[in-house]
Structure 1
C-alpha cells in the first residue's frame, strides 16, 4: 500500500493536497418538484440524497480535510447528472455505445493520476461527500478504483460509506454501487411509465415554451400563431423556405429562445404533430450501418391506435400539417436554403456546347471592354482549368432579366392550371391505409396471444409498416397538392418588385423553378438573340 493511501486510511491528512468533487444529482422520482421547474407537469424531483447543495458539500469536504491537517486546493463541480440518463458516444475503436457522460468526473480522475489540478497545484487525493456523490455507475466506480490501485492516489468520503482504500472496502463499494444503480434503473422505469401516462392524457411535455404558444404550452399566442399560419400558406403555395426565414429575420421576429431563425428550426416546428393539435413525442433511432443517431417527432397513439389529442390549441389543420410533412419528405430541392453567391444565375446556367455542360461562372467586365460600371458576363470556364470549354459567354444583366420573365410566365401558367383543377374531397386510398393499420393491430394481438411465432411476427410487421409508411407519404403528398390547387400561387412579379427582397431570395425562386438553364452556342460571326439561346429545364412537379 502506498504512503498516500495508507495515510488517508489512517485519517492523517497533514501535508497532503486534496480536491473536492461536488455533484447535485437530480433524479425523477416521487417527491416535491424542483423549484426551478415551474411547469405544472414538471416531473424532475430532488431525492433524499440531494439535501445538501454543492456549496454545502464543498464546505463540509473542505472542513474535513483542513480539520485533519490537509490542504484543500481545488473543487470540481459537476452539473446535474443522473445515473440512468445515458448518451450515445463513440469509443476510440469506432464502436457506438451508451454511457453516463461525466466529463468533469473524468477530468478529475485524469488530474489525480497526473498529480496536478487544472491550476497547476499539486494534488494527492480526491474527496467527496458520500459514495453517491462519486458515482452510481459501476463503470465509473471501476475507473475510480483504478486510480487508487494503480496510481496510488486516495479517493475518500466524509460519511464513511465509501472505502476504496482496502480490498474489502472496494468489494463493498461494488455492492453498494450496484444497488444504487438498480435504484436508478427503477426510477427510470417509474418515470418512463409516468411520461407515458402523461402522453396518453395529452398533457404537454416539460421544457421551454414552443413558438406559437404561451408559457402554459396550451394557449395559443395569437401573434405567433398568425405568423405560423401565414408561413404554412406560403410554403404550400410554393415559396422557398429561405424566403420565409429571410422575411422573419429582417422583421426582427425571433424564435421562442430569442434567436434568429434558420431553415432547420422552421422545418422542425412545421412538421411537429403538436402544430395541428396532436400530442407528440420524440423518438431516437440508431442506424447500425452509419453509426449515427437521429431524433424525430411522432404522434402519440392510444391503446386502440388512435392519435391522442393534446391539451393545447392547434395552430394548423391536420391537412395543412400533412402538407408540411409532404414538403419535407420530398427529395431536397435547390433553392431551399441560404445561398451566398453574388450573381443571380451562377449554378443555374450551363454551357450548351457538345461534351461540355459545365456551370457558367460570373465575372465583371474589364476596362478594355468599355461596359458600364458593374457590368458582368456569364461565361464557361477556360478549357485550361479543366472545368469547362471556354466557348460560351453571355451578358449578365440581359440574362437575368430574361430569366425573370421566364419565371413570371411559369408561375402565371401555374396559376391558370390551379384555377382549372378541382380537388377530390377525400384521398382515394384512405380505406387502404385504414385496413393496413387494422392488419398491424391484428398482428400485434396475435403475437400477444402467442398465435404466431416471433420470427413471423417481425417479418410480417416490417412489411405492414413499410406499406403504412408508403401510403402515409402518398396521402401527405396528395393533401399538399389538394391544398396547392385550392390556394393562390406566389405572385412572383410582386415578390420581385419588393424593395427589400434580397438576391438570395431571388436565387431561391429561380432554383426552385429551374433544374438548369442551358445556353446554346452560336457560330462565329452569328447574331442570335439571347432569348433564343436560353433553354429552360423546369423542375418537375412534386
Structure 2
C-alpha cells in the first residue's frame, strides 16, 4: 500500500526492513518487533525526505550475510527498482540492506544505469550511488558490516563447538524425532523405531519413504503441501542423536556442501570416544551403529544418490531367487498382455531372459510359484519354532570370530590411548582406525552369518511367523534368502502349462 506524503511528489521509493535470524543473534529478540520499529523509522524518514513510500519490503528473521540465504522481499525490491516501479530506497541503516559487497554492487549497477532521479537514504545518512564519492562511502560501510558479521559468526561458531563438547543440545529447530531440544516426540520416535527394526529385517529405505509419504509425514524443513523427502528419511535414520551421540557440523561446511552425513561429524573426546548429549535417547549406540552399517551396505550395493532412475521401490518376490531348470540363469519378471486370461488370473510371470545370458526356454506364472515357496518356507519355520534349541551349541568358527572381534575392539581402544598420549601421529592414528573399523565390519558380518547357520533359533522363527503378514516384498526376500539358496523351475514339457500349477516342477534348494 503506497503511503503519500503531503507535498512529497519527487520520489516514489521502497522501504526495506530486516532483522537477522534469531539463531545467530542468540539474544532472544523478537524479529517481528524489530522490523515494526524499522517501519516506523522509514515512514518518519519519508516525511523528512518528502518521498512517497510505494510499500515496505520486509524480510523478518533473515540473514543478509549467509550466501545461500535468499531474501525474497529484497529480491522483489531489486526487481521493482530495476523496472522503475520505485525510484529509490529508504532503510533504517545500510547494513539492513547489505552485508555482502556483491549485493551492494548489484544495487549500484541499477543506480548507475537509471535515467531518472534516484534516492538512497537511511536514518544514519544518505548515499548518492550515482557518484563515485557516494559509492565509495557505501562500499566502506558495507565492508565494515561484512567484517562485523564474519566476526560474529566466528564467535557463534566457537560457542556452538563449546556447547557440543559439553554435550549440550542444539537450541535451534527441534530435529525429527523430538518435540524440543530434550524430549522425544512420541509419534515420530515410534516411526523411527519401527523403521529401524524393519530395515534390519530387510526393508529398503525407499519402502520406508513410501510408507511415510502415505502417512503424510513431514520433516522440519518440508515445504508446505509436501511430504518428507527420500534424502530426509535417510538423514534422520542416520542421525547420531538417536543414540545420544553429539555431532557438530560447522556452518561453513553446511553452506558449501548442503546436507552432509552427520555420522562423519561426531564430536569426540581426546581418547576417541563420542560425546554423549543431554537429551532423551531413542536407541543404544550398538543399535544405531548396526543400522548405519546396514544402510552403508545398501549404498555399496546401489552406489549413487537416491534411487536409480527407472527403478521400482521393490522387486518381485522371486526375481533372481527362482532359477531356470535348464541353464541356471536367475529368472526375471514380466507382465502378461492386458485383456488376456493370463493377465486377469495372474498379472505377471517369471521367465528366463536371453539378454541376461539365459536360454529363454522357461516361463511360469508368478503368483502360484510365490505362494508355493511361501507355504514351504513357513512350514520350515514352524518346525524350527517348535524345535527345542539347545542351551549352547558348539561352533568353533563362531567362537574364533568372536575372539577376533574382541581383539579388534581392544586394539581400537589401545590406538586411541596411544594417540591421546601423543605416541601415534594423527596420520598413523587415522590409518590404523580405518583399518580396524574395516576389519570390525567384516568380523561383525561373519559373526552374524555364523550365528544364523545352519538354522535360526526357534525364537527368531516364531517371530517371523508372527510378523510375516505385514512383511513387505523386500523383507520377505531377505528372509527367503537366509534359508533358501535357489528355487529351481523345471521345464513343463509339451502341453505342461495347460495342466495348472505342478509343484513337482519346483525344486527348493536349501542352504
Do the structures match in fold with TM over 0.5?
yes
1:142–1:512 Cα change, 3 Å:
farther
User: CA–CA distance in 2 between the matches of 1:346 and 1:389?
Assistant: 16
1:429 aligns with 2:429: no
User: CA–CA distance in 1 between the matches of 2:203 and 2:450?
Assistant: 16
Residue number in structure 2 paired with 1:24: 19
CA contact (8 A) 2:45 2:90 kept: no
User: CA–CA distance in 1 between the matches of 2:27 and 2:242?
Assistant: 31
Displacement of 1:489: 5.2
User: CA–CA distance in 2 between the matches of 1:269 and 1:479?
Assistant: 28
TM score, norm. by length of structure 2: 0.71
CA contact (8 A) 2:316 2:473 kept: no
Q: Is the partner of 2:164 in helix, strand or coil?
A: helix
Q: Is the partner of 2:16 in helix, strand or coil?
A: strand
Structure with more helix by fraction: 2
Displacement of 1:429: 0.7
User: CA–CA distance in 2 between the matches of 1:492 and 1:364?
Assistant: 36
Residue number in structure 2 paired with 1:80: 61
Q: Residue by residue, what CA displacement relative to the aligned partner does 1:300-359 show, whole Å, maximum 9, x if unpaired?
A: 22344332221124332222222122212213469x999567975578767677698672
Counterpart pick for 1:328 among 295, 307, 328: 295
Counterpart pick for 1:315 among 271, 282, 287: 282
Written as runs of structure 1 = structure 2, the 5 A alignment for 1:467-482 is 467=435, 469-471=437-439, 473-474=441-442, 477=445
Q: Is the partner of 2:58 in helix, strand or coil?
A: strand
Displacement of 1:438: 4.0
User: CA–CA distance in 1 between the matches of 2:509 and 2:266?
Assistant: 39
TM score, norm. by length of structure 1: 0.67
Q: Unmatched 5+ residue regions in structure 2? A: 1-6
Q: Residue by residue, what CA displacement relative to the aligned partner does 1:358-382 show, whole Å, maximum 9, x if unpaired?
A: 7221326856x5x796444515599
Q: Residue by residue, what CA displacement relative to the aligned partner does 1:245-287 show, whole Å, maximum 9, x if unpaired?
A: 788888x796786997777555544433222233233468979
User: CA–CA distance in 1 between the matches of 2:90 and 2:423?
Assistant: 53
User: CA–CA distance in 1 between the matches of 2:8 and 2:371?
Assistant: 83
User: CA–CA distance in 1 between the matches of 2:209 and 2:462?
Assistant: 16
User: CA–CA distance in 2 between the matches of 1:356 and 1:127?
Assistant: 75
Residue number in structure 2 paired with 1:360: 333
Residue number in structure 2 paired with 1:271: 238
Residue number in structure 2 paired with 1:39: none
1:328–1:296 Cα change, 3 Å:
same
Q: Residue by residue, what CA displacement relative to the aligned partner does 1:433-488 show, whole Å, maximum 9, x if unpaired?
A: 22333455466986xxxxxxxxxx66x56634533553564576578779988873
1:517–1:225 Cα change, 3 Å:
same
Written as runs of structure 1 = structure 2, the 5 A alignment for 1:96-495 is 101-115=70-84, 122-151=85-114, 154=118, 156-163=120-127, 164-210=129-175, 213=178, 215=180, 217-219=181-183, 232-233=196-197, 235-236=199-200, 265=232, 267-282=234-249, 294-297=260-263, 298-332=265-299, 359-363=332-336, 374-378=345-349, 380=351, 391-405=361-375, 407-408=377-378, 420=393, 424=402, 427-441=406-420, 460=428, 463-464=431-432, 466-467=434-435, 469-471=437-439, 473-474=441-442, 477=445, 488=460, 491-495=463-467
1:34–1:348 Cα change, 3 Å:
farther
CA RMSD of aligned residues (A): 5.1
User: CA–CA distance in 1 between the matches of 2:330 and 2:159?
Assistant: 60
CA contact (8 A) 2:16 2:57 kept: yes
Counterpart pick for 1:53 among 10, 26, 34: 34
CA contact (8 A) 1:284 1:295 kept: no
Displacement of 1:203: 1.1
User: CA–CA distance in 1 between the matches of 2:487 and 2:252?
Assistant: 40
Task: Return the structure number with greater relative CO, CA threshold 8 A, min gap 6.
Answer: 1
1:167–1:262 Cα change, 3 Å:
closer
Q: Is the partner of 2:407 in helix, strand or coil?
A: coil
Q: Unmatched 5+ residue regions in structure 1? A: 1-11, 36-45, 88-99, 116-121, 447-456
User: CA–CA distance in 1 between the matches of 2:55 and 2:35?
Assistant: 14
CA contact (8 A) 2:13 2:90 kept: yes
